[in-house]
């Protein structure tokens, strides 16, 4: 089999035979090609016996290779399309190499590639091997010195990691810059940028007194949209000092924004590279959510400087060590700066819809996977989001102080080196002197743990017993049997008047009850009347909790729970119950009408004047189909969609007056600002408008038109445009046309325009999508455009993607096959949209399987796409 399609196992990890003591790189950047010269000092690793060395290298034209100054003849080493094997090496030696690469024709956006008027790199996870021969593995750390030489006029900006130590002019109109990154780092954190870019600059003085130059680079036409990102960077630096005691460690912090990027952003040491989507943000072109996302991603990459860069990963199986931890840190950053409850609700909503689905899919894997074929396929929701939940578990169990003690010990032990998930767990346990043995299961067991609850109130004994039973997830993998996990359940009990009960002798009204056994019973004494329990408050563990709960109890919790998250969750559960009841009735062709208590509690929510409007907006947002289907089999997705639509219609018909009045009350007349008060009001107002528009009435369409034309901000404008377009209000085509004319030179704004159209719930949408693909603003080579058009159609337009004629599946298969030739990483992301196929009833499943089979049979498929379809088809 093709060597790039081999499965790699975690258990096969071997330490490197050689360390790299220093790397010197020189880049001669030209339009047609780039020459890369390397000088690397190697030293044998005495803890691993071996005097051979494998240098990864892919798509490189080797010009020269010498050891200690002596050119090696070709027969002196073994060269394949994956790299070079050197044997019989001395204990210490210097290797010099020279290669030629072709960045301008690199469409995979990995290694060195071109974006508009500049060249840039993306090395994580294994892109450095497309730049030069090197032991491209995260446990080999070295200080890098980088010299970049290029034409001064065409490439005025030349950046790399660390601090710039010199620069100057050369002959023939060329110039150079030289960079030193003193912090030893693995090759995946290398970065280089060369070309024409504008920038803004500020300075920040760290708590240690270091003055740092902060710069953000973009193409000139975007330079006026970088100020918010700059402020976010400053906020991140300050927050990490205040909450974690961590300060920045170089004299420069550079960020470069590009329109051509496979993911969100990359934490390269001292030289972050960002998707423009997470840098550019201005009032007339960014939604409130866009602003919050920019702040979160800027924070995320900045926080990696300690969790990822100063302490990195031993191997890629440990990816969650940096990603789970850094997501946890960015979540806390957003929670501290914005609304904690809203952030928690949104994160859990996402986890339940997407990560739980991944956990139930053929791609299910543990937070620390045991094997992979293509590592890029494991930058997953499980590694990132569930990984963050696992870090949050330590925080829940140890408290802020204990958690920070663990962090300090972790840095003390591992700063400047490559660590494992076990190292992190040990630091948390040792710093707090607690036993976290069982916690290992959070890293090793795949699937979503299931917890069943049974409650008994004994009126005579005045006790309330809560029995918890842990059950293995249905798709448990691995050799041994599934084992019970260590699960903290945060809980409270309320008396019938809504007062919290004291739960123990100390009088605590909230407890963290730790599950460790497959079955455990918590008994609360002195309970005078049958209580209502609030379990798994703030979503204290990433599990599915199953309990019998009546609509009356849910309504009670919606009113009385002190935990804002669980108040929301109660509303959410009640909504899911109603949609499911309607769906089941439809399946059996029975009737089911919406119970009065539901509308009553919905009205109560809507008219609640005391709660944060942002929380109300969350509570009024019905559960996604994804979050409802991931425990089910045989789902008729179109019918389930219909059941949800029915509930929406019912709500609008019954509560139109209330919705309209809340809409009007939350209209802000203040000048626009992205502060939590305004953001909250806008989200509630726009949620109301969303409901009102689903009723399909003319005067509501007029309301949306008014909002579109009068809005002083992009959130309101975009919400109105989306609703008008999705309802196909007469005149919507004209609005879309005007919008295009106004914004055709702004890629991010045009991408939103593409998404709005891709998600129209109408028969001709696929046709429209195919037409939009012909426009010059769309290119299969641009990941943002692909995600905005193809991704939105297949991932967010349920009725059209799942159209009963199978046209949606055929379309996705065609696009995956075409894209795989250009950009395997993005093709693999797209093909993953088939991964939930096993939840659907047999006809749907069959049609999706056929489309995957067609992809599977393509010759020369990338390892990326192959791994995913192969898993799906083999496990079906």
Measured over the CA atoms of residue 721, residue 277, residue 345 and residue 830, the dihedral's sign is positive
Residue among 110, 219, 301, 867 flagged as catalytic: 301
Measured over the CA atoms of residue 715, residue 716, residue 717 and residue 722, the dihedral's sign is positive
How far apart (Å, rounded) are the C-alpha atoms in residues 27 and 113?
13
Q: Answer yes or no: are the C-beta atoms of 786 and 777 closer than 8 Å.
A: no
Q: Answer yes or no: are the C-beta atoms of 647 and 582 closer than 8 Å.
A: yes
Q: Is 382 in the site for ligand TRP (CB under 6 A)?
A: no
How far apart (Å, rounded) are the C-alpha atoms in residues 779 and 758?
15
Taking the complex as a whole, the smallest distance from the CB of residue 479 to ligand TRP amounts, in Å, to: 30
Taking the complex as a whole, the smallest distance from the CB of residue 331 to Zn ion amounts, in Å, to: 12
Interface with Zn ion in residues 685-724 (CB under 5 A): none
Q: What are phi and psi of 154, to 5 degrees?
A: -80, -30
Measured over the CA atoms of residue 268, residue 271, residue 275 and residue 280, the dihedral's sign is positive
Interface with Zn ion in residues 825-844 (CB under 5 A): none
Paired tokens of 600:
């009553």
> What does the DSSP 8-state code read for residue 385?
I
> What does the DSSP 8-state code read for residue 386?
I
Q: Quick one: 181 or 267, whose CB is closer to ligand TRP?
A: 267
* Interface segment toward ligand TRP; rule CB under 6 A; list 200-208, 255-263, 689-697, 702-710: 255-263
Options 77, 350, 379, 592; binder of ligand TRP; rule CB under 6 A? 379
Q: Quick one: 303 or 482, whose CB is closer to ligand TRP?
A: 303
How far apart (Å, rounded) are the C-alpha atoms in residues 702 and 7?
58
Q: Quick one: 124 or 346, whose CB is closer to ligand TRP?
A: 124
Taking the complex as a whole, the smallest distance from the CB of residue 379 to ligand TRP amounts, in Å, to: 5
Q: Is 265 in the site for ligand TRP (CB under 6 A)?
A: yes
Taking the complex as a whole, the smallest distance from the CB of residue 303 to Zn ion amounts, in Å, to: 8
Interface with ligand TRP in residues 96-135 (CB under 6 A): 122, 124-125
Q: Answer yes or no: are the C-beta atoms of 192 and 160 closer than 8 Å.
A: yes
CA 48 vs CA 16, 43, 365, 654, 807: distances in Å: 7, 12, 30, 72, 55
Residue 262, contacted partner among ligand TRP, Zn ion, none, CB below 5-8 A by kind: ligand TRP
How far apart (Å, rounded) are the C-alpha atoms in residues 528 and 463?
8
Options 136, 323, 358, 836; binder of ligand TRP; rule CB under 6 A? 323
- Determine the size of the site formed for Zn ion (CB under 5 A): 2
* Interface segment toward ligand TRP; rule CB under 6 A; list 192-200, 259-267, 473-481, 635-643: 259-267
**Which residue's Cβ has the minimum distance to ligand TRP?**
263
How far apart (Å, rounded) are the C-alpha atoms in residues 29 and 652?
61
Q: Quick one: 396 or 864, whose CB is closer to ligand TRP?
A: 864
How far apart (Å, rounded) are the C-alpha atoms in residues 858 and 37?
38
Q: Quick one: 295 or 323, whose CB is closer to Zn ion?
A: 323
Residue 263, contacted partner among Zn ion, ligand TRP, none, CB below 5-8 A by kind: ligand TRP
Interface with Zn ion in residues 273-332 (CB under 5 A): 323, 326
CB proximity list for 478: less than 8 A, separation 6 or greater: 370, 444, 445, 446
Q: Quick one: 125 or 729, whose CB is closer to ligand TRP?
A: 125
Options 99, 257, 266, 852; binder of ligand TRP; rule CB under 6 A? 266
- Determine the size of the site formed for ligand TRP (CB under 6 A): 13
Taking the complex as a whole, the smallest distance from the CB of residue 375 to ligand TRP amounts, in Å, to: 9
Q: Is 788 in the site for ligand TRP (CB under 6 A)?
A: no
Options 114, 121, 147, 262; binder of ligand TRP; rule CB under 6 A? 262
> What is the DSSP track for 395-463?
HHHHHHHHHHHHHHHHHHHHTTEEE-HHHHHHHHHHHHT---SGGGHHHH--S--EEEEEEEEETTTTE
Clarify whether 850 is annotated catalytic.
no
Q: Quick one: 267 or 389, whose CB is closer to ligand TRP?
A: 267
Q: Quick one: 110 or 455, whose CB is closer to ligand TRP?
A: 110
* Interface segment toward ligand TRP; rule CB under 6 A; list 139-147, 232-240, 256-264, 448-456: 256-264
Residue 240 CB-density burial (10 A; 0-12 exposed, 13-18 middle, 19+ buried): buried
Task: Determine if residue 286 is left, alpha or beta; phi over 0 gives left, psi from -120 to 50 gives alpha, anything else beta.
Answer: beta
Q: Is 301 in the site for ligand TRP (CB under 6 A)?
A: yes
Taking the complex as a whole, the smallest distance from the CB of residue 265 to Zn ion amounts, in Å, to: 8
How far apart (Å, rounded) are the C-alpha atoms in residues 421 and 706?
54
- Neighbour count for residue 508 (Cβ, 10 Å): 13
Q: Is 136 in the site for ligand TRP (CB under 6 A)?
A: no
Q: Which residues are catalytic?
A: 301
- Site for ligand TRP, rule CB under 6 A: 122, 124-125, 261-263, 265-267, 300-301, 323, 379
- Site for Zn ion, rule CB under 5 A: 323, 326
């Amino acid at each position: 089999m093709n060597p790039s399609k081999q499965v790699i196992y975690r258990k096969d990890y071997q330490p490197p035979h050689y360390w790299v003591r220093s790397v010197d790189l020189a880049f001669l950047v030209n339009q047609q090609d780039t020459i890369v010269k390397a000088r690397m000092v190697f030293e044998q690793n005495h803890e691993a016996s071996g005097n051979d060395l494998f240098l990864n290298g892919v798509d490189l034209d080797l010009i020269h290779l010498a050891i200690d100054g002596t050119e090696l003849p070709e027969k002196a080493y073994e060269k394949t399309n994956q790299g070079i094997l050197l044997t019989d090496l001395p204990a210490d030696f210097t290797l010099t190499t020279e290669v030629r690469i072709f960045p301008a024709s690199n469409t995979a956006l990995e290694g060195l590639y071109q974006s508009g008027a500049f060249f840039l790199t993306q090395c994580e996870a294994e892109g450095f091997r497309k730049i030069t021969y090197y032991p491209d593995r995260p446990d080999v750390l070295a200080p890098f010195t980088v010299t970049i030489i290029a034409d001064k006029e065409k490439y005025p900006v030349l950046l790399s990691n660390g601090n710039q130590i010199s620069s100057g002019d050369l002959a023939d109109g060329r110039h150079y810059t030289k960079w030193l990154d003193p912090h030893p780092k693995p090759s995946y954190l290398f970065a280089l940028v060369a070309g024409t870019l504008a920038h803004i600059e500020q300075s920040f003085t760290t708590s240690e007194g270091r003055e740092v130059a902060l710069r953000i680079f973009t193409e000139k036409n975007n330079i006026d949209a970088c100020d918010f990102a700059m402020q976010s960077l400053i906020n991140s630096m300050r927050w990490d000092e205040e909450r974690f005691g961590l300060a920045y460690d170089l004299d420069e912090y550079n960020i470069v924004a590009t329109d051509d990027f496979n993911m969100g952003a990359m934490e390269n040491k001292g030289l972050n590279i960002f998707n423009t989507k997470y840098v550019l943000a201005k009032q007339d072109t960014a939604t409130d959510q866009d602003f919050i996302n920019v702040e979160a991603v800027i924070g995320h990459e900045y926080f990696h400087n300690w969790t990822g860069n100063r302490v990195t990963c031993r191997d890629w199986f440990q990816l969650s060590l940096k990603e789970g931890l850094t997501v946890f840190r960015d979540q806390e950053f957003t929670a501290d700066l914005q609304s904690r409850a809203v952030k928690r609700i949104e994160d859990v909503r996402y986890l339940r819809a997407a990560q739980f689905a991944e956990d139930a899919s053929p791609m299910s894997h543990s937070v620390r996977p045991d094997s992979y074929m293509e590592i890029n396929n494991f930058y997953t929701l499980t590694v990132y989001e569930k990984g963050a939940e696992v870090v949050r578990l330590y925080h829940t169990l140890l408290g802020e102080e204990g958690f920070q003690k663990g962090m300090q010990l972790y840095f003390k032990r591992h700063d400047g080196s490559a660590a494992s998930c076990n190292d992190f767990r040990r630091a948390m346990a040792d710093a707090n002197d607690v036993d976290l043995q069982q916690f290992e299961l959070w890293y090793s067991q795949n699937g979503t743990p299931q917890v069943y609850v049974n409650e008994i109130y004994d009126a005579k004994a005045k006790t309330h017993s809560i029995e918890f039973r842990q059950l293995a997830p249905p798709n448990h993998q691995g050799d041994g049997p599934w084992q019970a996990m260590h699960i903290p359940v945060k809980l409270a009990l309320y008396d019938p008047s809504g007062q919290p009960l004291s739960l123990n002798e100390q009088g605590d009204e909230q407890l963290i009850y730790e599950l460790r056994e497959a079955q455990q019973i918590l008994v609360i004494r002195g309970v005078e009347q049958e209580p209502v329990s609030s379990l798994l408050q703030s979503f204290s563990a990433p599990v599915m909790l199953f309990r019998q709960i009546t609509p009356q109890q849910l309504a009670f919790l919606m009113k009385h729970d002190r935990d804002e998250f669980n108040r929301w969750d109660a509303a959410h559960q009640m909504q899911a119950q109603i949609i499911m009841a309607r769906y089941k009735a439809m399946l059996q062709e029975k009737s089911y009408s919406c119970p009065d208590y539901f509308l009553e509690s919905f009205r109560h929510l809507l008219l609640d004047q005391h709660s944060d409007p942002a929380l109300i907006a969350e509570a009024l947002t019905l559960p996604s189909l994804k979050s409802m289907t991931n425990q089910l089999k045989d789902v008729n997705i179109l019918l389930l969609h219909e059941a949800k639509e029915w509930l929406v219609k019912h709500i609008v018909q019954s509560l139109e007056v209330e919705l309209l009045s809340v809409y009007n009350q939350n209209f802000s007349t203040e000048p626009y600002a992205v502060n939590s008060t305004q953001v909250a009001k806008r989200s509630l107002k726009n949620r109301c408008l969303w409901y009102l528009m689903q009723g399909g009435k003319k005067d509501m369409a007029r309301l949306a038109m008014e909002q579109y034309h009068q809005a002083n901000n992009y959130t309101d404008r975009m919400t109105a445009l989306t609703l008008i377009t999705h309802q196909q209000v007469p005149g919507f085509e004209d609005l879309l046309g005007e919008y295009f004319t106004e914004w055709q030179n702004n890629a991010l704004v045009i991408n939103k325009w593409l998404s709005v159209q891709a998600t129209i719930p109408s028969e001709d949408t696929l046709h429209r999508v195919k037409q939009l693909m012909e426009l010059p603003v769309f290119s299969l080579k641009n990941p943002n455009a692909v995600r905005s058009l193809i991704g939105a159609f297949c991932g967010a337009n349920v009725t059209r993607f799942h159209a009963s004629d199978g046209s949606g599946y055929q379309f996705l298969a065609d696009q995956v096959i075409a894209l795989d030739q250009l950009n395997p990483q993005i093709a693999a992301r797209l093909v993953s949209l088939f991964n939930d196929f096993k939840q659907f009833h047999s006809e749907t499943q069959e049609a999706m399987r056929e489309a995957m089979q067609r992809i599977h049979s393509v010759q020369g498929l990338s390892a990326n796409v192959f791994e995913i379809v192969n898993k799906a088809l083999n496990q079906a």
